[in-house]
Amino acid sequence: MKIFDLLKIVIGLGFFLLSTFGFADSLSHSAQQSMEVACRYEMTVTPRAKAKASSNKFWFFWRTPGMIQTQDADGDYGEIWERTVTGSIQYRKLYHADKTAVEYMSTDMPVNNMSFDWVKLSSMLRQQELDQLKAVKKTRVLGRNAELLKGKIGGQTLEVLWLPNEGLPASIIRKDKTGSMALHLVQITALSAAHRKPVAVEEISNYRHIDAADFGDMENDPFVRKVLAAEGHHHH
């Protein structure tokens, strides 16, 4: 399962959301989103059906005021969102091994179950969800202030360990009748001090760029055929 497939699980379950819970020691939304961080997360998806195997993946998350980038642990696949001066968001899937970027327009969002709201992408939690959770206690995680929040939303139980100053989750555990999804922060540091850095935008600009909407007309392209086969698409 590629990194963006895992992230679509998070997005699809409503976990690429908006900050914050508004505790006294929290920073403002703009300050949180401007905080340049490098994170390493572990995601575990466990289906309730015993016939289906669990998946466990590590991935990286980098945030700057104008860029959010993710990458799988092997460095083969990733995503990048860039905020333009006009406020629009440019989104690409990155195939680093193939030096290729697949571009998605905002009009593709409903089809691909993706959110292009910058605050949601920057923070992973939205206010509407947090407002329905109960603050259980304040604690410390990885040397940082954290708030444990719990609650039920619809048919889901949700537990969030929230870092109010960073505007990011230290963990999200969601359970419903289909199974569970657990996201855990393994490491967080200032981007300038991070050992693992995001791929430079300048390097990505030298990749081959393909509009996702053109895939249907490029069935004979070796790269497109490989991607469609990997994602389980069959075209005639």
Taking the model in full, what pTM does it have?
0.82
What are all long-range contacts of 169-174, with beta carbons under 8 Å and residues at least 24 apart?
A: 169/124, 169/125, 170/141, 170/142, 170/144, 170/146, 171/141, 172/10, 172/15, 172/124, 172/125, 174/13, 174/15
- CATH number given to 3-230: 2.50.20
Residue with tokens 């995601």: 43
Work out the pLDDT band at 120, boundaries 50, 70, 90.
confident
Spans of all domains in the chain: 3-230
pLDDT of 25:
39
What integer best gives the mean pLDDT of the chain? Answer: 82
pLDDT band at 230 (very low <50, low <70, confident <90, very high): confident
pLDDT above 90 for 136: yes
- Residue 172 predicted with pLDDT over 90: yes
68 versus 3: which is more confidently predicted? 68
Q: Which of 87-96, 120-129, 140-149, 210-219 has the lowest mean pLDDT?
A: 120-129
Q: Above 70 in pLDDT, residue 21?
A: no
